[in-house]
Each structure stands twice: as C-alpha cells, then as structure tokens.
Structure 1
Amino acid sequence: MCWAFYISSVNRFRVHQGKALTTPARPSTEDTPTSPLATTFNTELSAAAYGRRSKRVAETESARSCPRALFPSYTYLYYPQTSRLQHLSSNPIPSITTASSHTAPVMSCCGHESDAAPTGYHGSHAHAPQDSSPSDVCCSASHKHGEEKDSIVHSHAARDDCERGAGSFDRVTLIVKGLKCGCCESGLSKAFHHIPAIKNHQVNIVMARVEFDLNTSELSIPEAIARLQKDTGYSFELLDHPEGQVLELLVRDPSDICRTPKPSGVTLLETKNKQVWNPVRLFSGRNTPLPSEPPSLVESTRTSQQFFPPEEKKAPSSMFLQIVRVHYDARQIGARTVYEYYQQHAPSQDVKLAPVGPHPSMSVGSLQTKRASFLFLITLLFTLPILVFAWGDFTKDRLVYAHVSLALATVVQAIATKEFVPGALQSLIHSGVFEMDFLISMSTTTAYIFSLVSYVFLVKHKPLETGSFFETSTLLVTLILLGRAVNEFARFRAAKSVSIRSLQANHALLVPLGGRIGPPSATRKIDARLLQYGDHFQVPPHTRIVTDGDVVYGGSEVDESMITGEPLPVAKGLGHKVHAGTMNGAGQLVVRVTRLPHENSISRIAAMVENAELSKPKVQALADKIAGWFVPAIAVIGLMVFLIWLFVDRYSNGRGWGSAVVRALTYAIATLIVSCPCAIGLAVPMVILIAGGSSARFGIIFRDPQKLEVARNTTDIVFDKTGTLTKAELEVIEGQFHGGHTERTKGMILGLLENDKHPVAMAVLQWLKKEEEGSADGTEPVTEVRMIDIQSVPGSGVKGISEDDKLEVYAGNPQWVGVEVLETQHTVLCVTVSGALAATFRLVDRPRQGAFHVIKMIKERGIRVHMISGDGEGAVDQIAHLLEIPKIQTRWRYKPEDKQRYIHELQKEGKTVCFCGDGTNDSAALKQADVGVHMNSGSDAAKSASDVVLMKTYLHNILILLDISRAAYRRIIANFSWSAIYNVLAITMASGAFIKVRIEPAYAGLGELVSVLPVILIAFQMKWRDYGRKYRSLEHS
C-alpha cells in the first residue's frame, strides 16, 4: 500500500540527489511559505467527494494548517517499486501561466510550471528520478499496489487529525446492489454496528443508498467496503460526489493530458477508474483496470495517485477512451474555455466531453430490475416443461419425464442457490441476522431435496404416494423471482417518478455576447455543461430553461409548477429571474447565466431531497424492529407447523411416518414462503419517498423527514411578522434628518446599509437613492462614506465606523440605539452618529396576499396562531388586527433569544410548535421549534437551521405541508395494517388452520408479490393526488 505521509514522531531523513541528510525537527518559518492554492481549496473541496471506486492520497499542503512542530514543511512519498524515500520540496507553488505566456515554463507531470527548478523537482511536488522516462509520470484517481489493497485519505483528514486527535472521519456514500426488503436493511444496520470505525450510518432501501461516517485512521474506505461485502453478501459501489466545478473529458492517454500546461484557474486533474468505448457507448466492465503510468503528486488538496509495478504497465488502448476529471475555479476560467484549451493543446488526444450517465441510484435500480426480470424469465423457461409433465397425462413414459424434470429442476435450483443462499449465510454468520432469503433458501432447498428423494424412489420403481415434487420446487422459485422482479420494478419507478434531476436540459443555444434573438444561425448549440458565468443563451418557445439566470431580452410566460408549485404561468421580462427546469411559454427569451448547472435550482432541490431520503422518522424504527424479529419468528412458526402436522397425521389420522413427513413438509414450506416482511420494510420508506417527491412539486422541501411525521401533530403555529406574514417590501413613508449634517448622514447610511439584505435596510437604501434621483437637478450627488468594521446584530440592527473620521454609526430599532420614540403603527429605523440621533425613518408593511384566508383556515383546524416580531407594539398590532390574530398571542420587540424562549415556553405546556420565519434572527427559533419552516426568500443561515424549506413564499404552502404530513401518516398506518392482515391470513391459511382452504407450497411464492403491491399502490396515491387544488384561489385573493 502506497501512502503520502508526514513524518513527525519517527526518525526523519531527507533524500536529495541520492544523499541522506538529517531532517531538522522544526523548519524555520521563512523556509516554509504556504501555498495560496492549497489554502484556498482546503476549505472549498468537501471531504464527502470521492471518485467512483477512486482512491485518494492526502496532499502535502493540507497539513500546513496544523502546528509545524507536528508536520514539517516537506513530505515524503514511498515508492514500493524501488523502496526509497522521495523528498517533496516545500517551495511555494509558482504562479500558473497559460500557453501564451512569454516565458516558456518548465513543465511538470501534471501541468505544473516553473521558470526554474532543481533537478528532480518542480514546484511543491516530486518528479520522477532522472532515470525515469516522462511516461512514468501521470495523475490518477486510483491507487494500486500488490494485491489490490486500496487506501483512500482525503485532504481534510490530516487537518482533522491535528484538530480531533487520532480519529479522522470522512462521510462516505455507497450504492448497494441487491437490497430487497426491510430485513435486508436490518442486516445492513447490524453489520454497520459490528464495525467500530463506522458511525452515524443511514440506509435507504428504496434508493439503494447508504451513508456513514468512517474513521479512516482505523479503516480505509476500500477495506470498509470489503468488510461490508463480506458481512452482508451485497455489492457496494462508491458514489461519486464531485465538489465544486468539475468537467469530465474523454482522452486517449491521460498521462499526456497531465503533461499539458494547465491554464490559470484549473486546480486539479485526475483520472477515473472507468473506460469508455471509443466512440459509441460506455464500456460495461465495472472493475476494468485503467491503463495508466505511475503518477506524481498533483498540486491540490485532493491529490490522486496510482502506482503500478513495472510488470503491470500497459500502453493506452486506442479502442477505449479514458475519463479525465478537470477541477477548475469557474470564477477564473469557464468550462468552455477549459474544454477548448485542451482540444487545442492536445490535438492527438481527440478530447471530447464524457457522456452524461443517469444518477447512480437510477442506474442500480434499472440494473437490478433487468436482472430480476431476466432471472424470472430464465426460470420460467425451465419451469413450464416441468409443469406440463406434472399436470399432463404421461403415465407411459413417466420415468423419461422424471429424468428431464430432474435436469430442468436442477438448473432452476442452481439459480435459486446462487441468488438466495450466499447472502443469507453471510448475513447469518457475520451479522447474526436472519433475512428473508434464509427462509427462501431453506424452503426451496428442502423442496428440491425432497424432489430428489421422490425421484430416487421412482427410479427404483417404488414411487411415493405423493408423486412427483419437482413442479413444487421449480414453481416456488419462479413465483418468488416474479415477486422480486415486480418489487424491483415498482421501487425503481417510485424512485424515478420523484427524481427532479430529469428536468435538467442537456443542451443550450449559446448567443454571442451582445447578440439578440435572431435566426438559428445566430446561436450555437452546446452542451449545457459548457455554459459559463455571464453567457447568454436563447430559450425557444415551449422548451425548458437550461439553468438559472436573468432575462436580458424578450418576454414570455414561464410554467414554474415543477419547481415552485406555482399553478399558473408567470410573466417574465427584462430583469426577471428564471429557474432551471421550468418550461417556457410561447415567447422567446435571452437569459444571462447566473448559476451553472451544478449549482442551479434543480441541483440544489435534488440534493436536499436526496439527503432527506436517507433520514428516518421514528415510526421507521418500529418497522425495522418488527422486520428484524419477523424472520426468526416465522422460522419458529414453520418448525411448529411441521411438528404439529407430523404428529397429527401419524397419530390422529393414522398415516405412516413417510406420508406424515411429506404432508407436514408441504405445510411448513408454504408457511415459510408465504410470509413476507418486505411489506413491513417498505411501508415507511416508500411513503416517505413519494411524500417527499409530492411535496417538492409544490415547492415544499423536507430537509428532515422526521418532521413529516411530526407536522401532523401541530397545535400552535408561530409566525415571524416581517417577510413571513407581510410582504417584506417595506416602503419608507417618512424620513427625517437631525443635527444639520444631512448630506454627510446620508453618505454614512449608504455606506453602512449598502450590502445589508434586511428588508428594512433595503427599503431605506432604495428610498435614499430615489431621493437623490429626485433632487439631482443642480445639486451635487451624495458621496457614499466608506464604512469599516460593519457588524450586523440579529434582531437589532447594524453598526459600523466611518473610515475617515472614525465615527461610530448605529442603524436599528429605537431600543437598541437608545432612542425613545412615541408608539406608532409603523416600523421605525433610527440612525445615531457617535450616540447622537442623526436620522429617523418610518416604514409601512402590508400583509401577504391571501394571508388572512390562510390564518383563518389554520384556526379552523383548531391550531392556534401566534405572531412575534422585533418591531414596536403599534406595527405588530396593526398587522395582527388585519389578520385577526388575538393580541394575547402576539409579541413585539422580541430579540432572537426571546423568540426561542417563547417557543420553549409553549413546548413546556405540551404544545407541538411549528415556527415559520425567514431571517437570520429566526435561526434560533427555527431550531427550537418542533417543525422549523423557512421561507426561501430569507437568509441562508435560517435555511440551514430549518426542517422544511418553502421554495415559494406562498403562505398556503403551510396548509399543504400539514395535509401531506397527515396523508403520509395515514398511508404508513394503512401499510402497516395491510402487512399485518396479509401475514396473519396468509400464515394461517398456509399452515392449515382452515381445513378446507389452504395455500399450496407451489403457489406460496406469490406471497411477496401479493403483499408488496398494495403497499406500493397505497404510497403512490399521494403522487396522484393534487394537494394544492383547493388552495389555488388563495394565491390571487
């Protein structure tokens, strides 16, 4: 195993030009400048980003945030091929130039440049020794040595080591192949508990995803995956989460691209362990080795390395193209510029964009559905002849048909053994969990063995009175696989139906800068991934908008229902914002890009929904517990059924032991197979998945699905006033200046409030600018005073210091600045300079559209409505009077801690509180509430503290939220009820409790299909229902 590592507590040696030198324990500060690139990207590149089966090695620069006594400024790489230590220079990274630079740079392995460098070195990373050929160096995301043992360490790991001690946790996301039911999830969870290095695991059986925190100081990611595969029997695939701006290119030889000079703004090149058939389709091999050469270290915090022993070196194949991932800073260089740059500077590589594949969860779901369907068809093909032989009249050649049936049944049993037995045994041995596959394996194997016994007696011309049994074992396997295929298809369709990523358009019509809508020749069709900040793209009629942006030309109506829940088309014109995935109407638009595809509305909403799907409501814990005990309980019941029927037939009905055993076996097998915990396991996650997708259609995003269960119990809703119940479009109706320095005061206010996003600050700023425009005739414009040390105090105001004369300026509510004012129905902003009152502004706000009717409908449900605000009593009373909120349930002049305390007091009375706010000063209240709802127009701080995000500021979405919560809970209860009713009836019928009605073992395999389908249909009812229909009139009331 190859590692880039820091040597701190062991003997240090430097190897330079073949000589070993003693390393000083602590290099001087002057000799160890910190790389600005490393410092910048240390914080920007998330630790959760891993390549698909890629392996990462910690980069040297990332440790410079740790004490220098622990981590010297140079690093060593261990090359197992030659068993030597290679020194990494601590020189600062030189400035990166483009190919047009006047000074010809000295090139390194990964595009690093330096005007001069010592022999064997470049910049801050090591080169191959002098006797190595240039082809010996390349950057790769794989790490290979010896017996395929991999190690993955993220750049932040070294930093965390010095901050947290020995433990360094990385967030890992895996795609699981083979998940089938709740028992599978129970087995997975138990396997996680048996690995001490894994913490905080989350499993979603519908999306086939698991996430967990892994202590990489104890266990590497490949080792964790191997351990999980051993303990569970499932296959795991590392989910690729690239962070920031990434462009994937197809090239012939990655090492050649690594040697190409990097343009300014490109931060990292890495290869993925994936090949693409040139040029038609993706190569199907999952673990195809990547033809590559030994690499060197890349100058970034996320460094990729791959080492190959000399005998394993391979030349790049012309039949395949390799994927190279380019990390770049979109603020410095655009994707199209990067793409065209490498096309020009590496013409022999035939550089192309990598194809866009479906989301890994969708790929796995599709693959598992196809696989289950294929297995069912194969077993059906072999089962049909056996059924014909068994049910037909073939008494003359019964022995011949028995031979054929044996051969066909053996094939079917081999398929069943491969499908069910390994995973069941691994889960039982390593995790101590009885899965449903264990019951299936035991039943199908017993049926097949008894068929062999029956066959032997038939060959010896002593046939058993029960006759042939091959049709029972084969039909049983076939029907079980049919149920699995339908189950996989339903789960795949459920996941696909709520996926919002399918709304992303793949191509854009690029408009030349300065151009307007014209004939098709005036635009150029490009891949959406090649859009750059500031680009203009054309949106033809009745097409989807590619990414978020501002309209710069044209006009149209846009259907935003798929993103915000807005039922009617919204008029868009010059200056209006448009969102990715929304549908343009009959007009044409030219849009300026403000967000790239990886960060647009679709990506942000999809990320929130997908993260929420991994969380579980409390009722899921009950389902997991039931599913965990279900299989052992059924095994005990099956054994009891066998013994009861054995003794009943032997002693009560007078049958012989052989006949009694056969009859008892049929009842026991039917009992084991017909029972199904899958319905119990899917009862909750299927509803949560559909409910999350349904709510997203109305612009309601549950960041924590547990709140989907809690919201239905809401007894009190607390609203913040400004920006929630009111429009937050305040208007200054009066502005007064005091002290005789009006122009100077205006300049200070402009400088202080220029970048403040609070509604009051924005309204005052807008009023001042309009005042300037109105009095511009013959007067000098107000000069904005530069302010320093500006601080925003949530719930109070903002303060700063004028740069020129160092005067303290406060702008906020009267109580905060120490000014007494008469009570008024207006919002008041006071400005003081050095403690003296300099200006007073009175503002008016109005309730949101439909707020009165929403409050009325909430109260009709028996829910109490409260309103709290930092404004004065008069302003709060005015809005409360308009909305008919009792004064006893209103509070004014409340700071953030007061809002939190008010909610806590309600909770102490046994209330379930939902708080709805939008500002930074609402963050504490959002966290305190049982359900924190954030209006999307508010701050990011409030959004991060909330449980639910409303993408559109429609108050009636609160009502939809409550309706969806209640509907989801009812469907969860309905699913549990159906699961219980089905299993009780099916088990009693299969066990022979009803003498005249029983389930034959051959048909017991339909149990999974019959039990799971109603659960899926019950969940899908939420998708088919329009929860917003009865509230649409409120949007325009």
Structure 2
Amino acid sequence: MTCANCVNSVEGILKKLPGVKGAVVALATSLGEVEYVPSAISKDEIVQAIEDAGFEAAFLQSSEQDKVLLGLTGLHTERDVEVLNDILKKLDGLRQFGVNIVLSEVEIVFDPEAVGLRSIVDTIEMASNGRFKADVQNPYTRGASNDAQEASKMLNLLRSSLFLSIPVFFIRMVCPSIPFLSTLLSMHCGPFLMGDLLKWILVSIVQFVVGKRFYVAAYRAVRHGSTNMDVLVVLGTTASYAYSVCALLYGAFTGFHPPVYFETSAMIITFVLLGKYLEVLAKGKTSDAIKKLVELVPSTAILVLKDKEGKHVGEREIDARLVQPGDVLKVLPGSKVPADGVVVWGTSHVNESMITGESAPIPKEVSSVVIGGTINLHGILHIQATKVGSGTVLSQIISLVETAQMSKAPIQKFADYVASIFVPIVITLSIVTFSAWFLCGWLGAYPNSWVAENSNCFVFSLMFAISVVVIACPCALGLATPTAVMVATGIGANHGVLVKGGDALERAQNVKYVVFDKTGTLTQGKAVVTAAKVFSGMDLGDFLTLVASAEASSEHPLAKAVLDYAFHFHFFGKLPSSKDGIEQQKDKVLSQWLLEAEDFSAVPGKGVQCSINGKHVLVGNRSLMTENGVTIPPEAETFLIDLESNAKTGILVAYDGDFVGLMGITDPLKREAAVVVEGLKKLGVHPVMLTGDNWRTAQAVAKEVGIEDVRAEVMPAGKADVVRALQKDGSTVAMVGDGINDSPALAAADVGMAIGGGTDIAIEAADYVLVRNNLEDVITAIDLSRKTFSRIRWNYFFAMAYNVVAIPIAAGALFPFTGLQMPPWLAGACMAFSSVSVVCSSLLLRRYRKPRLTTVLQITVE
C-alpha cells in the first residue's frame, strides 16, 4: 500500500466479501484487522482476495485465545505429516488442527481447560521420539520479519535499478563531453545509434523487470475501479519510454535521429524506489514502541518442579510462552519476570518502570503481585503464574497500542477524500498541461527558442505533462495522520499513558473541562478511620464489630477501612509482627469474629443495610439515616460537622431504628493533586471535582487542591448527567475516574481517562488508561494529544503545500519568467522524498518529553 486510496481499496474489497463483518486497514503499519464468520469464509480466502487486488498479504494472528500456531522442525515429507496427525488425534483437548508442510507449521485449536500449551508441545516432541521440535510462533516476530523482507526487497530492486540507470545517466549526461566516447556512441549499429541502442536495452530492463511491480499494482487497482500512486508512476514512465521508442524507430527508418529520453523513465523508477525504501525504513521507526514492549517478554522461564506433596524436586528451563497458570517459576536477580503472578517465596525489589513509568524500584515479598516483563533487581523470587499469554498486563498494553494504531482519527477522513479524487485530478491536469503548451506552440504563442535543438513542440509539451504526473504525491497526505498517531501512541505507552485510538487523541487536544472523581482519583484510595465515637450505651468494641459485620460484604473502599480498623482494635498486640503472619491470622479469625449479616444490600451513593441478630442495621451517610427515619442527636451532628470541615467523611450507624454512633474516615490526597490542578489551569483547562460525598467534606477537599467548581452528593447515575451538562455548550469534557460507579461518566465524557488502579469496567469504558496511579499523566495525555495534532497539522501543511507548489512548477508556470524547466526525473525525485519528509516529520514526536511535576507550572498554551 502506498497511499490512503490503497487503504480505501483494500477496505472496500474486504467489506464486500461474504462473511466479513468489518475491516480496518492501517497505512502506517501495513496491517489490517478483519472481523469475519469462520463458517462463511476462511482466512486463506481473505488473504487471497487481497492478493487478487494487487497487494501482498499474509495472516499474522487470530484473536481466539485458544488458537495457537506452532513451528515444527523435522516436518519434511508426507510421512512426517501422517506421523504428526496420528500424534495430534490421540491428544485430549484438541478441537481441531491443520498442518502446513510448506511453512512447517501446525495451527491448533484447543480447550485450555482440558490441556495446556506446554503439554501439547511436550506430547508432540516425546511421542515422536525427538523427530519433531515444536515452538510457539510469535506473531510480532513474524510481522517484523515481513517488514524486514519488504525492506530487503525494496533495497534489491533499488540496487538493480541503480546498476542499470547509472550507465544510462552517464551515456546521456557525461559521455557527450568526452570526444572518444561521444564518437563511439554516435556510431551506427544497424539502423540505430550505438548510444540510443544501449539506453534502450538497459532502460527496458528497468521499465519492465524492475518496474514490473508498478505495472501489476496499477493494473489491479484500475481493474478494481481505483487509482493510486502506482498508476501515476506507470503513466509517467510509460509515456517517456513510449515516446523514446517511437523516436528511436523514427530515426531508424528516416535517418533523422531526434533526441530520446530513456533516462527519464529509468531515473523516475530509481528515485521512486529510493523514496519507497527510505519510507519503509522510516515507517519501521514509528513502530519502535511496540517492538520495545515485545522485547520485554523474556524468551525463557525457570519452572520449579514439585512432587505430589509439594516438595521442590528440581527445575526446568522452558520457553516463556509455554508457562501455564498455576506454574511456580524461579526468577533470578537481574532477570525478567516471565508472567504475571504472585510471590510465594523470597523478597526483592522489582523495576516496573518499563510498564508503569514508576522510576523507583518496588519492594516485593510474599503475596506481592508482580507483572510479566519487569526486572527482578536483587534476591531470588518464586512466583506463581496467575495470567499468561494474552492475559498478562504487558500483552494487554501491546494489544491496546496496536488497536490504537489501527484506528483512524476523524481528521483522516480529509485525507481519504482527497486521495479518492487526487489521481484523476492529476491526470486531468497533466492532459491540460500538455494541451496548453502544445496548442500555444502550434499557434506560435511562444518563441521557438524555448524549444531545445533537435526537439519539437510535441516533445517540449510532453515533458511538462510527464513532470506533472510524476511530481504529484498522494502518499504524503495518506501518511500525515497515521504515522503521527502511531508514534504518539507508542510514546504514550512508554510514559504509562495508553491511548485507545486516533479519535481519542483528536478529542483530547480540545479538552475544556477535566472532571475528577474524588475517591481514588484525587485521593489515594486508601481510606483510614481516624475517629470512632458511640452515642448510646453500646460498648465501643461491640459497636465496631457491628459496623464491620455490616460492611464485610461491601466492595466500597470505605468498607475495607472500617474492617481494618475494627480488626486491629480487637487484635492489636495479639498477632505476629510480620505482614504475612497478620494476613494469615486475619483470614482465620474473620469468620469467627464477625456477626452473621442477612439481607445485605448496598444503597448506591448512600451506604449499606442488612439484618444482624434479627434487627435492622444501617451504615452510611445522612441521606440513608433520614430516609429510614433515624434521628441524629445534636451532639453527634456537631461532631459530624467538625469531621466534615476537616475533609473527613462521616459514617453514621443505626441499630434497630436508633442512632448508635459514627466513624470519621479520611482518604489522604495524592501528593501531586494540587500541582496538577494548577497545571491544568495553565493549560487553559477548567478542573471540576465530582463526588458522592457531602458538600462540607467535598468543599474542604476541593479547597485543598485548588478546585473551585465542585459537584457534591452526586449519585453514581448522576455523574454522567453532570458530564452531559458540561457538554451542552459544545465543550469537550474529560472524565478521570477509577471505579465501577465512574464507568457511566467515563463513557459519557468525550475523553474518558481510567486511572491505573481502576477496575476492569472503568478501563473498558475509558479512552485513555493511565497505567500509573499518578495524576501527572492527565496532563501528559492532554499535552501529548496537543503536540501530536500540532504535528499532524504541520504534516498536512507540508503535504498540501508540496502539491500546490510543485504541480504548477512541474507544469511550467515559471518557465516563461525563468527559462527553467523541471525535468521529469527531478520531478520523480521530489515526489519520492515528499512522503519521506512527512514520515520524518512524524518521527520528530519521538523527541517528546512529558511535563514534569516540578516544571508543570511553566506549561504555556499553544
């Protein structure tokens, strides 16, 4: 694919295929994503349809998690295939398989619940007595291999073209100045001049052997009713070549030898190939981010072998892609963690900067969670794998980045439209250019001195027309947006900001409001109880047991704080000193210590209610008490107001219809919250705080971080309404949240940002995923989007300005004033380098440096 029109052609072909539900093709990555019904059409038929349209295609990977492609060493003959089939048929858990002897591959669909991937590989190798050696094919490696093959192919074509074109250039430009060579080349070889005959032979090879790819691609494009850059190259070079052949034959029959322009078509093809080769190399640089992420995955893992009693009996080195959930793996100091898991033995520090962007090493001990691809710094760890393959954090990040690079920004529609009409317009302009110059020359509208010796008005006009066809470049327009988006999504991933597509990037540049959820977003999400007071005759210990029993079934962050406070109140000084020991004892005594709660229900935005010992228990805010007719004593009201004035949340408790006490809970603000809010203001963005908490607490928190616009006592369903209200005047609104109750607002916002520790539902609803639990990344997301679209605008300016300026010059607009004519080969060189310049412009985004917390206040609005 060379331009946006190629993308439109491929997408159009795919969408017409029976069984294809949708298709998206990315020019910058040369990748396509097709959603299809396997029972209606196969992947091979999809690949064949693309190839029939004139494009090279290969299957890379399937989204099915239970499908795997194995490469096999030792698969050479039909007998080998029979042996392999016999082995696979006896393997339990295999749904289907297909062997490709040409590629030495076998595609397997299996039931992960019945058999593991490592078991499949081990069975193939053991049952064949070492005849076969199997390994899991990495789709990213195959993609990189395809890119390398494309670059190698372009380089070979370029070398061939240069090898043949340089002699043609010397014969045309240098040899006439050397008397001996000039005389030699002017000699007759039959009816032809020696020089012209040599050029014809050499250029014919360039035109039809080296340039075959242009003819094939142009033919298939036209056959499918579309046009692209290949059509322009074929028209320009064929016109020059055909005229030269006609001139050569005319000289052979008449004895008058007019000038030939074989070097024009040869040099155009050479420069186009040079441009394409440089473009392939430059586009390869735009995908460096994904390559770096893929390289984080270790190639091997050390599997800890245990007997039936769980004793360590040995170790085995395996392919990291063969790790299965539940495996215990040994991670040596300095090595990479092979999969997501939990530490079951050992202590160490792990460098997670490559995943989260957090520079400080993270301490790990028993029960700590580790992420695949991170580096164990010192100390040996034994981890139990919990997520492997596509389920790991690293794989999900790679998948998000890939999906983002496949998506199209709305601004890309402009390029798609221009590309659809570009080639016909250029061909029309070329015909108009030829006609105008030829008619003016035929009518004597310009002096004969403008036409070169041994030339004529027809040739003079033809050279202008060819230059117009060759200099026009639709590729630059097609690459302007996708290359910038590709680099930006990669840069974002490196900084812990995952963007879900070009459309999200485009919307984020115009953000006017950023709405922050309070709990877990502006605050640390680690609530702690600071006060507990009983306003009845109930004992404090009984009060805490009652509250903890009611909150035990709740998933709210405040519930965990209540449970921890009550647990430590009852068992302080009676537990082991180590954290691991506390957790083990806690699990043992919780079921014995807590009271049985029946009829439990959570009241969104208000609290919880249940029955304990047959009596109704309420734990929540004022609204919950009021709705249930519970009267709050004056002394409790005074205590509550004092808590709320100090940015603490009051949890009120009623038992059997009577108010019994309350607890004060605080959730510390994130250290960067105030500075980030000030930074957003410097960016011209209006911060808003949204919370279900009461007004007094909300205003105290907002004052501390510097937010003037506060929306308090908002129910989860009402958060989306607040977002929609801000959008009424056409403003772009971003929502930053982390919980399930934030997902409606994240979905309603123009730009949803899920903060790193958020739930899967919040992450699914968001447009941006901020991997680190750090608010600085909100500024990074907005700043990166603005820088990206500033670069995209420059790309479009370069691409449009190039065509607007270059086409008139090629058409000879300046010739009457300067006497300078752009030869077609120079026009070809300009066209080749225009697309390279746009890709290089996008690569400048790799120099992006995110605003730091210490310098965030120096940000200026662009």
TM category, shorter: 0.7 to 0.9
Distance 1:344 1:741, change over 3 A: farther
Aligned equivalent of 1:367, options 127, 138, 149: 149
Aligned equivalent of 2:416, options 583, 605, 624: 624
The answer on 1:259 being equivalent to 2:108 is: no
Amino acid at match of 2:266: T
1:687 corresponding residue in structure 2: 484
Q: List aligned pairs for 1:283-432, cutoff 5 A.
A: 322-323=105-106, 325=108, 327-329=110-112, 334-341=116-123, 343-344=125-126, 347=129, 350=132, 352-356=134-138, 358-391=140-173, 392=175, 393-398=181-186, 399-415=193-209, 418-430=212-224, 432=225
C-alpha distance in 2, partners of 1:705/1:671? 33
Kept after mapping to 2: 8 A contact 1:920/1:941: yes
2:340 corresponding residue in structure 1: 548
C-alpha distance in 2, partners of 1:222/1:567? 46
Aligned equivalent of 1:237, options 41, 47, 58: 58
Secondary structure at the residue paired with 2:335? Answer: coil
C-alpha distance in 2, partners of 1:593/1:770? 32
Amino acid at match of 2:245: L
2:97 corresponding residue in structure 1: 271
C-alpha distance in 1, partners of 2:383/2:165? 60
Shift of 1:273: 4.7
Distance 1:326 1:787, change over 3 A: farther
Q: List aligned pairs for 1:195-234, cutoff 5 A.
A: 198-214=20-36, 225-230=47-52, 232-234=53-55
Q: List aligned pairs for 1:876-887, cutoff 5 A.
A: 876-886=698-708
CA deviation string 1:779-805 (max 9, x = no partner):
997444566776555534456678xx8
The answer on 1:758 being equivalent to 2:556 is: yes
CA deviation string 1:883-935 (max 9, x = no partner):
1222xx11222112221111111111332211111111111111111111111
Shift of 1:971: 0.2
1:706 corresponding residue in structure 2: 503
Kept after mapping to 2: 8 A contact 1:795/1:921: no
1:435 corresponding residue in structure 2: 228
C-alpha distance in 2, partners of 1:584/1:998? 65
CA deviation string 1:925-983 (max 9, x = no partner):
11111111111212111111111110011111111111101100110111011112222
The answer on 1:539 being equivalent to 2:331 is: yes
CA deviation string 1:963-1004 (max 9, x = no partner):
101100110111011112222232122111122333211222
C-alpha distance in 2, partners of 1:556/1:455? 80
Distance 1:506 1:413, change over 3 A: same
1:639 corresponding residue in structure 2: 431
Q: List aligned pairs for 1:569-580, cutoff 5 A.
A: 569-580=361-372
Aligned equivalent of 2:742, options 904, 922, 945: 922
Kept after mapping to 2: 8 A contact 1:254/1:271: no
Kept after mapping to 2: 8 A contact 1:869/1:892: yes
TM-score relative to the length of structure 2: 0.84
- Give the stretch that moved more between structures: 741-750 or 386-395: 741-750
- Give the stretch that moved more between structures: 733-742 or 202-211: 733-742
The answer on 1:954 being equivalent to 2:780 is: no
Amino acid at match of 1:932: G
Distance 1:203 1:248, change over 3 A: closer
Kept after mapping to 1: 8 A contact 2:672/2:853: no
Distance 1:459 1:754, change over 3 A: farther
Distance 1:828 1:239, change over 3 A: farther
Shift of 1:478: 1.3
Amino acid at match of 2:571: E
Amino acid at match of 2:223: I
CA deviation string 1:251-283 (max 9, x = no partner):
743321233252xxxx334334534xxxxxxxx
C-alpha distance in 1, partners of 2:129/2:855? 57
C-alpha distance in 2, partners of 1:835/1:228? 72
Secondary structure at the residue paired with 2:390? Answer: helix
C-alpha distance in 1, partners of 2:731/2:723? 9
Distance 1:658 1:350, change over 3 A: closer
Shift of 1:322: 4.6
Distance 1:830 1:244, change over 3 A: farther
The answer on 1:944 being equivalent to 2:738 is: no
Amino acid at match of 1:211: E
Aligned equivalent of 1:726, options 499, 523, 537: 523
C-alpha distance in 1, partners of 2:372/2:428? 55
Kept after mapping to 1: 8 A contact 2:791/2:841: yes
Aligned equivalent of 1:986, options 787, 801, 806: 806
Distance 1:197 1:341, change over 3 A: closer
Shift of 1:1007: 2.6
- Give the stretch that moved more between structures: 472-481 or 826-835: 826-835
Kept after mapping to 1: 8 A contact 2:298/2:338: yes
Aligned equivalent of 1:502, options 295, 312, 328: 295
Shift of 1:438: 1.1
Shift of 1:762: 1.8
Kept after mapping to 1: 8 A contact 2:161/2:210: no
C-alpha distance in 1, partners of 2:664/2:202? 88
Secondary structure at the residue paired with 1:983? Answer: helix
Secondary structure at the residue paired with 2:812? Answer: coil
C-alpha distance in 2, partners of 1:195/1:745? 68
Shift of 1:243: 3.0
C-alpha distance in 2, partners of 1:936/1:757? 18
Shift of 1:1010: 1.9
- Alignment length, in residue pairs? 795
Aligned equivalent of 2:321, options 522, 529, 533: 529
C-alpha distance in 2, partners of 1:261/1:791? 48
Aligned equivalent of 2:847, options 997, 1003, 1024: 1024
Q: List aligned pairs for 1:859-870, cutoff 5 A.
A: 859-870=681-692
Shift of 1:677: 1.2
Distance 1:246 1:813, change over 3 A: farther
Shift of 1:814: 4.1
Secondary structure at the residue paired with 1:585? Answer: strand
The answer on 1:603 being equivalent to 2:395 is: yes
Kept after mapping to 2: 8 A contact 1:846/1:879: no
2:664 corresponding residue in structure 1: 842
2:273 corresponding residue in structure 1: 481
C-alpha distance in 1, partners of 2:415/2:170? 42
Kept after mapping to 1: 8 A contact 2:356/2:772: yes
Kept after mapping to 1: 8 A contact 2:533/2:540: no
Distance 1:704 1:469, change over 3 A: closer
TM-score relative to the length of structure 1: 0.71
RCO comparison, higher one (Cα < 8 Å, 6+): 2
